[in-house]
């Protein structure tokens, strides 16, 4: 009979309407600025530069190899290479970025810079509240703003960060072994 389905539908919506006042479980809305949804590990929004140790600028893993700048599809990365060298995350003397800028308004969150980086220096951040009151300078992130600690990386992407750390530790051990001129036997004698 015509109309029975409509009545059933009306009953269903009435149940939802009244139910939302009775049981709080029905309401799935999170009242955003006051409440926050738990962070999702796989989420990504905008890249940041990882540094080891305590000094955000000295500890930067980036060696300014320009690969990310060249690969970036919307061309939002701008790097200026340093003239001198400093030891990188593995211990080899390398160049470092004198300037490293990313334009938030241009970045499309594709993660290609992260995929191509051979030094695990650039990673994706989960922070999404990047709005600014100025359209130009405030949206151009510089090296100081982009640098975030390895601990922060562990916090937002624990699994991924642990794998990166293991890889880096192996590389560091290899470099240390290559540097040491004497075989391990000499060490034993000391």
Partner 1 sequence: MTPDTIDQIFVIAKHWLLSYTPAPLQPVVSAALSVAPILGVFPLLFAITTVLERKGLGRIQNRYGPNRVGPYGFSQPIADGIKSLTKEDIVPRTADQFVHFLAPLLLVMAAFLAYAVLPIGKNMVITNLNAGVLFFFAVGSMVELAVFMAGWSSRSKYSLLGAMRAVAQMISYEVPLVLASIVVIMASGSLSTVAIVNQQANYTSIWPHWFVFTPWGFVGFILFMIAATAESNRSPFDLPEGESEIIAGYYIEYSGFKFALFFLGEYLGMFATSGLAITLFLGGWSAPFSFLTWVPSYVWFFAKLLALICVFIWVRGTLPRLRMDQLMGLAWKFMLPMTLLNIVTAGVWHFMPAGFVRWLVCTALLAAPFALLSRGLTQGGKKLQLRTYRFAE
Residues found near partner 1 in the complex (CB under 8 A): 1-3, 6, 9-10, 12-14, 16-17, 19-21, 26-29, 31
* Nearer to partner 1 (CB atom), residue 21 or residue 136: 21
Give me the least distance between CB of 11 and partner 1, in Å please.
Answer: 9
Residue 97 near residue 65 (C-beta atoms within 8 A): no
* Nearer to partner 1 (CB atom), residue 26 or residue 174: 26
* Nearer to partner 1 (CB atom), residue 10 or residue 170: 10
CA–CA separation, 18 and 22 (whole Å): 7
Give me the least distance between CB of 5 and partner 1, in Å please.
Answer: 8
Give me the least distance between CB of 37 and partner 1, in Å please.
Answer: 15
Give me the least distance between CB of 46 and partner 1, in Å please.
Answer: 28
CA–CA separation, 14 and 110 (whole Å): 44
Cα–Cα distances in Å, from 88 out to 20, 94, 113, 128?
57, 6, 19, 29
CA–CA separation, 139 and 146 (whole Å): 12
Residue 66 near residue 79 (C-beta atoms within 8 A): yes
* Nearer to partner 1 (CB atom), residue 27 or residue 108: 27
């Amino acid at each position: 009979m015509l109309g029975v389905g409509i009545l059933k539908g009306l009953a269903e919506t009435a149940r939802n309407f009244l139910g939302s006042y009775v049981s709080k479980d029905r309401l799935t809305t999170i009242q955003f600025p006051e409440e926050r949804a738990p962070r999702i590990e796989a989420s990504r929004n905008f890249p940041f530069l990882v540094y080891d140790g305590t000094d955000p600028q000295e500890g930067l893993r980036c060696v300014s190899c320009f690969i990310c700048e060249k690969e970036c599809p919307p061309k939002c990365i701008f790097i200026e290479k340093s003239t001198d060298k400093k030891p990188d995350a593995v211990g080899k003397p390398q160049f470092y970025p004198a300037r490293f800028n990313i334009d938030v308004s241009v970045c499309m969150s594709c993660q290609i810079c992260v995929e191509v980086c051979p030094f695990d220096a650039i990673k994706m951040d989960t922070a999404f509240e990047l709005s600014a009151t100025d359209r130009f300078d405030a949206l151009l992130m510089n090296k100081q703003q982009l640098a975030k600690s390895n601990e922060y990386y562990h916090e937002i992407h624990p699994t991924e960060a642990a794998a990166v750390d293991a890889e880096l530790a192996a590389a560091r051990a290899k470099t240390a072994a290559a540097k040491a001129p004497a075989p391990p036997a000499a060490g034993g004698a000391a």
